A and B are shown apart, each in its own frame.
Chain A
Amino acid sequence: MSSSEEASSMETTTIDKDLHVTFAQMMYHLLPNPYESQEINHLTLAYFVISSLDILNSLHLVEKEAVANWVLSFQVQRGTTNDPNNGQFYGFHGSKTSQFPPDENGVFHHNNSHLASTYCALAILKIVGYDLSSLDSESMSSSMKNLQQPDGSFMPIHIGGETDLRFVYCAAAICFMLDNWNGMDKEKVKDYILNCQSYDGGFGLVPGAESHGGATYCAIASLRLMGYVEDNVLSSCNLSSLIDLPLLLDWILQRQGTDGGFQGRPNKSTDTCYAFWIGGVLRILGGCNFVDNKALRGFLLSCQYKYGGFSKFPGDFPDLYHSYYGFAAFSLLEESGLKSLCSELGITNMAANGV
Chain B
Amino acid sequence: MAGKIEDESNDRVPLRLRPEWSDVTPIPQNNGPNPVVPINYSEEFSEVMDYFRAVYFANELSSRALSLTAEAISLNAGNYTVWHFRRSLLESLKVDLHVEREFVERVASGNSKNYQIWHHRRWVAEKLGLEARNSELEFTKKILSIDAKHYHAWSHRQWVLQTLGGWEDELNYCSELLAEDIFNNSAWNQRYFVITRSPFLGGIKAMRESEVLYTIEAIISYPENESSWRYLRGLYKDEATLYVNDTQVSSVCLKILRTKSNYLFALSTLLDLICLGYQPNEDFRDAIEALRTSDNEEQDSDIARTICSILEQVDPIRVNYWVWRKSRLPQAA
Contact = CB atoms under 8 A, between A and B. Distances in A.
Interface of A: 27-33, 35-42, 45-46, 49-50, 63, 66-67, 69-70, 73, 96-101, 110, 112, 114, 156-157, 159-162, 198-201, 204-206, 208-212, 234, 247, 249-251, 253-254, 256, 258, 260, 265-268, 287, 289-292, 295
Interface string B136-170: 00000000000001010011001000000000000
Nearest to A41: B78
5 contacts: A45-B37, A45-B39, A69-B34, A96-B29, A253-B321
Interface stretch (B18-26, B184-192, B287-295): B184-192
A138 B56 CA distance: 30
B36 A40 contact: no
Contacts of B49: 39, 97
Given A46-B36, A96-B29, A99-B30, A160 B76 contact: no
Given A31-B37, A291-B317, A292-B316, A210 B268 contact: no
Contacts, number: 180
B36 A67 contact: yes
B189 A198 contact: yes
Contacts of A159: 80, 84
Contacts of A209: 151, 154-155, 158, 189
Interface string B23-57: 00001011110111111111001000100110011
B151 to A, nearest CB: 7
Nearest to A201: B230
A160 B53 CA distance: 20
Given A36-B45, A162-B118, A199 B237 contact: yes
Contacts of A268: 149, 185
A111 B48 CA distance: 21
A97 B80 CA distance: 11
Contacts of B154: 209-210
Contacts of B320: 289-291
A162 B84 contact: no
Given A45-B37, A199-B233, A162 B119 contact: yes
Contact of B36 (A28, A200, A265): A28
A98 B317 contact: no
B189 A211 contact: yes
A26 B324 CA distance: 44
A33 B119 contact: no
Interface string B212-256: 000000000000011100110110010000000000000000000
A112 B81 contact: yes
Given A209-B189, A266-B227, A291-B318, A250 B268 contact: yes
Contact of A267 (B227, B234, B268): B227
A209 B118 CA distance: 15
A236 B189 CA distance: 32
Interface string B177-206: 000000111100110110001000000000
Main secondary structure of the interface of B (DSSP, over half): helix
Nearest to A98: B81
A70 B32 contact: yes
Nearest to B321: A290
Contacts of A267: 183-185, 225-227
Contacts of B155: 205-206, 209
A70 B33 CA distance: 9
B158 A208 contact: yes
A199 to B, nearest CB: 3
B115 interface: yes
B79 interface: yes
Interface string B262-296: 00000010001000000000000000000000000
B314 interface: no
Nearest to B46: A36
Given A209-B155, A256-B317, A287-B321, 19 more contacts: A36-B40, A36-B41, A36-B76, A40-B76, A40-B80, A40-B81, A100-B57, A157-B80, A161-B116, A199-B230, A205-B151, A206-B155, A209-B151, A209-B154, A209-B158, A249-B321, A267-B184, A291-B317, A291-B321
A40 B53 contact: no
A161 B76 contact: no
Given A42-B39, A100-B53, A210 B76 contact: no
B75 interface: yes
